[in-house]
Amino acid sequence: MIDIRIVRSGMAVRSLIAKFLLPLVMAAAFAVPARAALQIDITQGNVDPLPIAITDFLGAEGQEGKVGADISSVISNNLERSGLFRPLPKASFIEKISDINVQPRFGDWRVINSQALVTGQTRMEADGRLRVEFRLWDVLGEQQLTGLQFFTTPDNWRRVAHLISDAIYKRLTGEDGYFDTRIVYVSETGPKNARVKRLTIMDQDGHNPRMLTRGNELVLTPRFSPNSQEITYLAYRNNQPRVYVLDIETGQQEVVGEFPGMTFAPRFSPDGQRIIMSLQRGGNSDIYTMDLRSRQVVRLTNTAAIDTAPSYSPDGRQVTFESDRGGSQQIYVMDAGGSNQRRISFGQGSYATPVWSPRGDLIAFTKITGGRFVIGVMRPDGTGERILTEGYHNEGPTWAPNGRVLMFFRETRGAQGGPGLWSVDVTGYNERPVPAPTFASDPAWSPRIQ
């Protein structure tokens, strides 16, 4: 409007305007594409957890109903712990779901600010199996997002709850869930100077703990195989550290290779065919792989320095490891055959235990700087280093199978202190203790259970 008025009544400025302003205005008119819609970029949002209503799964009085309520609380607990969801208190629910095959009254759920709604039911089948169904609803879009049903034995309900949590997580975040997974860790009991250490396995939420070793030997650094049936770990027998492989289901264990020196820091290759580890002779340790079938051993590094803590990239083409060849402990990356070794960490302090994310985009590490233990991540080329947590003693990061969450152990000071498991997501915002029945260290996160 202003422009136009000036053009009409201006005297001295007329020619100026004619020369400059008007063409500009016209150019603007023509430069805008032919559609009239206003275009607005939304470049900022919030990272608040998504409010979700999880109703008790319907079931007849008695066992059905109880399992239904239990499943709903396991799902609620899983989603809440992920930090991405905020389950709403059941007391606030207005509509009482009585049939999951009828569309819920979305208005009732909008009123309590819910954006997603989970309904479900449990049924005991005639053959003794448990049938669990659930539906995930988009409250604002008023549509069903997903719905699945599962059949299982009744005592397996907890696993079904984890599978449902995974499905909800995946549909709403786009990311694979990690709830149907297990953790192997070293449980520590007894007084601080005479701890009994046992390999223990439990569900990712701390339930169903089960001892895997008897505690008569020192065990360290358990690692899952990609098929999740086997773990490899380090045990001291006759004061000699050796790398073992243990079958979780059968309890059978065997030593990996007979080497003259000590073996450390074992880890499976992504295809599960090889174990990569470090082998120490004298003051020098180097990285080796051993084929589990042919027992063939290949040496990957050959320096006078200490090379250890190897970890494969998810495609199996590269290996990251720690080495002090440059004077201080730093992170290196090399091709899987041992060539092209290069340093990637250049920050203050010393870096240790690099672990490649299952997604391939990040390497997690422990860093010791200024007397503090830091858990952080960086890209495989060494850029983008970020600190996720720090403290008196943090160590041993392990990735959830979706590459979004890390677990590690944190030691507390004092005579009563001891190690405990913690998880933190890659943003560093959502840090939580992982419930475990005893002191716990050296966690290893399983792949998703097949």
Partner 1 sequence: MRNSVLLSAAAHVVIVALALVAFPSPEELPSVQTRALPVELVTIDEVTNLKRLKKVEKPKPVEEPEPPKPVEKEKPKPEPKPQPAPTPPPPPEEKVEPIPDKAVEKKEPPKPVEKKVEKPKPPQKQPEPKKTFDPNQIAALLDKTPDSSSKPQPQQQSEQEFDTPVTDDPAAKLTMSEIDAFKVQMQRCWSVPAGAPEPIVVMIRVYLAQDGSLASPPELMDKTKLVTGGSYYRAAADSALRAIRLCQPFKMPADKYTSWREIELKFDPREMMGG
Applying CB under 8 A, the residues found at the interface with partner 1 are: 1-4, 7-8, 18-19, 22-32, 34-50, 84, 101-103, 115, 133, 135, 138, 140-152, 167, 170-175, 359, 361, 403-404, 425, 427
**Residue closer to partner 1, measured from CB, 31 or 415:** 31
* DSSP state, residue 58: B
In terms of CB distance, is 178 or 422 closer to partner 1?
178
CB of 93 to partner 1, least distance (A): 19
DSSP-derived pairing of the beta strands 50-54 and 116-124: parallel
Nearer to partner 1, 133 or 307 (CB): 133
Nearest distance from C-beta of residue 66 to partner 1, angstroms? 22
- Cα separation, 354 vs 367, in Å, equals 10
Residue closer to partner 1, measured from CB, 95 or 425? 425
The number of beta carbons lying within 10 Å of the beta carbon of residue 441 is 23
Instruction: Quote the least distance from Cβ 6 to partner 1, whole Å.
Output: 10
Sign, Cα dihedral of 14, 19, 21, 25: positive
Question: In the bound complex, what is the minimum distance in angstroms from residue 288's beta carbon to partner 1?
Answer: 32
CB 156: neighbour CB atoms within 10 A? 14
CA dist., res. 258 & res. 206, Å (int):
36
Nearer to partner 1 (CB atom), residue 125 or residue 254: 125
Closer to partner 1 at the Cβ: 43 or 250? 43
Q: How far is the CB of 85 from partner 1 (least distance, A)?
A: 10
CB of 5 to partner 1, least distance (A): 9
Q: Which CB atom, from 359 or from 393, has the smaller least distance to partner 1?
A: 359
CB 100: neighbour CB atoms within 10 A?
19
What are residue 318's DSSP bridge partners? 335
CB 328 within 8 A of CB 322: no
Nearest to 93 by CA among 55, 131, 45: 55
The minimum distance between CB 432 and partner 1, in angstroms, equals 16
Q: Which phi and psi (to 5°) does residue 233 adopt?
A: -155, 175
| Class of residue 61 by CB neighbours under 10 A (exposed 0-12, middle 13-18, buried 19+) | exposed
Shortest distance, position 161 Cβ to partner 1, whole Å: 15
Q: What letter would DSSP give residue 56?
A: P
DSSP 110-169: HHTT-SEEEEEEEEE-TTS-EEEEEEEEETTTTEEEEEEEEEE-GGGHHHHHHHHHHHHH
DSSP state of 80: H
Which of residues 104 and 419 has its CB atom nearest to partner 1 in the complex? Answer: 104
